[in-house]
Amino acid sequence: MKPWTKRVVWALAVMALFSTLAPARQREPNSVYAERRAQLAAAVDGPVVLFGYTGNEDSSPSYVFAQEHNFYYLTGHNEEGAVLLLLPGRHNGGSPPAGPREFLYLPQRTDNFTRRERWDGPRLAAGDAGATEKLGVAMTAPFPELKAKVEELAKSYTNFYTLLPGQNERGYPHAANWLKWLKEAAPGANFREVRPLIAKLRMVKSPGELELITRATELSMDAHLEAWRMIRPGVWEYEVAARMRYIYQRGGCERDAYAPIVGTGFNSTVLHYNKVDAQIQDGDLVLMDVGCEFSGYATDITRTVPASGKFTPRQREIYEIVLAAADAAIAAVKPGARMAGQGEGTLTRIAQGVINSRGKDKQGNSLGRYFIHGLGHHIGLNVHDATEPGRALEPGMVFTIEPGIYIPEEKLGVRVEDMILVTETGAKVLTARLPRTPDEIEKFMAEARKAGGRR
């Protein structure tokens, strides 16, 4: 076995063991975050200033704090109000001066901070015993000292790397707020976008990340199987969604990776259908696109099953075309292959070719017009994870393959979405244990009914 494959096999074996033993929320070892910071520092010619979330980003009562993903990727620190400062590996073309090259700025332990802990639970503050060792950084310091440090660095460096606001910034303006703060501290500096440099690293998963993605995937597959046990005409979409959430949250998933999609009949054709308030009808297909996050890492899985337990001939025909498109794309996965872009050999073109060459709609048109979204996306801390556009596949990348055909006038939508790990030689389908073919699905549903199903 190649060393990389060995590492993954080992990691997955350990995962199987620790999934029953370990506490729910896990971090990778400090050395992993330190290595990521070193790689980023080696790629820049000026300081990186990366602001974690403050906890004020969302005021809804159901909000649970979850860290800014780039900050989490580099620190594993899931608490409010921290800032990472990295000094570049290169220093005026030579070796950098002695002294710490990375700093984690933490909130100060003020009276207000201590009062907040009575509401929100214990938090790490600058100066707390063992904080630096616990976080595995060279140095921790109180947040109010950051400004003077940036002012001082602005005398030696022109370029600073941070999160820049852009069209990706929706909702609370985290990047815009902190860029304003930085510009006040370093008015003459050039501020450069750090996201692509971190995306480059995030695209290839560590063994620890693979463990967590696998854990999320295993629990979400359990949730899908449980849904199939209860699906029958008369059951409500929200009952199915609730049962699925129960299964993965009981297993330690801390939240949905995205709002569960459980769509019956026409709703199966609505890509991001999340109202889940309809009653399943006899003869419908039920599309379930449901997945959780485990210790910050997402999974994303779709299956489509018949409400009655039996596909109609038309449903089976469309389903088999989608499945053939998925299988053809999965068969083409290997290092060097491309998801999308120019050329005939991309995974997207392969899937589109299958869908366009088989079957017709009621007017005799080919079915490509009903495949209206991308073939898939990288996945990790985010369900639609950080991606360098156009980069070829490499071992350790994880992404979805999710072709679909949605024909609203037939109230018929089918998507099959699998989680794919790129290996040295091809693909490992992380969702392989979840039945995919119509025969397998019918068999599972028939056996579940025989056993009494679920309510």
The footprint of Mn ion (CB under 5 A) covers: 289, 300, 400, 417
Element (H, E) at 289: strand 285-289
Task: Find the binding residues for ligand GLY in span 386-415 (CB under 6 A).
Answer: 402
Contact of residue 178 among Mn ion, ligand GLY, none (CB under 5-8 Å per partner type): none
| Minimum CB distance to ligand GLY, residue 236 (Å) | 21
| Minimum CB distance to Mn ion, residue 294 (Å) | 16
The strand pair at 261-264 and 297-298 is best described as unpaired
- Rounded CA separation 245/256 (Å): 8
| Minimum CB distance to ligand GLY, residue 417 (Å) | 6
> Cα dist. 289→256, 271, 419 in Å?
11, 9, 12
The HSE-up count of residue 291 (CA atoms within 13 Å, CB side) is 28
Between residues 33 and 319, which has the closer beta carbon with respect to ligand GLY? 319
Task: Find the binding residues for ligand GLY in span 49-108 (CB under 6 A).
Answer: none
Inter-residue contact 367 to 359 (CB < 8 Å): yes
Between residues 27 and 202, which has the closer beta carbon with respect to ligand GLY? 202
| Torsion angle, alpha carbons of 214, 294, 394, 38, to 10 | -130
Residues near ligand GLY (CB under 6 A), total: 6
Beta strand extents in 146-283 (DSSP E only): 159-162, 190-193, 255-256, 261-264
- Rounded CA separation 299/220 (Å): 8
Between residues 372 and 446, which has the closer beta carbon with respect to ligand GLY? 372
Under rule CB under 6 A, residue 209 binds ligand GLY:
no
Task: Find the binding residues for ligand GLY in span 289-328 (CB under 6 A).
Answer: 289, 300
Scanning 88-157, the segments in alpha helix (DSSP H) are: 111-120, 131-135, 146-153
Task: Find the binding residues for ligand GLY in span 238-277 (CB under 6 A).
Answer: 258
Phi, psi (deg, nearest 5) at residue 83: -135, 135
| Binding string, residues 340-379; x marks residues near ligand GLY by CB under 6 A | ----------------------------------------
| Minimum CB distance to ligand GLY, residue 330 (Å) | 16
Going 381 to 385 to 386 to 392, the CA torsion angle's sign is positive
| Minimum CB distance to ligand GLY, residue 258 (Å) | 5
Between residues 40 and 286, which has the closer beta carbon with respect to Mn ion? 286
Between residues 256 and 300, which has the closer beta carbon with respect to Mn ion? 300
| Minimum CB distance to Mn ion, residue 420 (Å) | 11
| Minimum CB distance to ligand GLY, residue 298 (Å) | 9
Element (H, E) at 93: none
Residue whose C-alpha is closest to residue 206's, from 11, 419, 6, 26: 11
Positions touching ligand GLY (CB under 6 A) are 258, 289, 300, 383, 402, 417
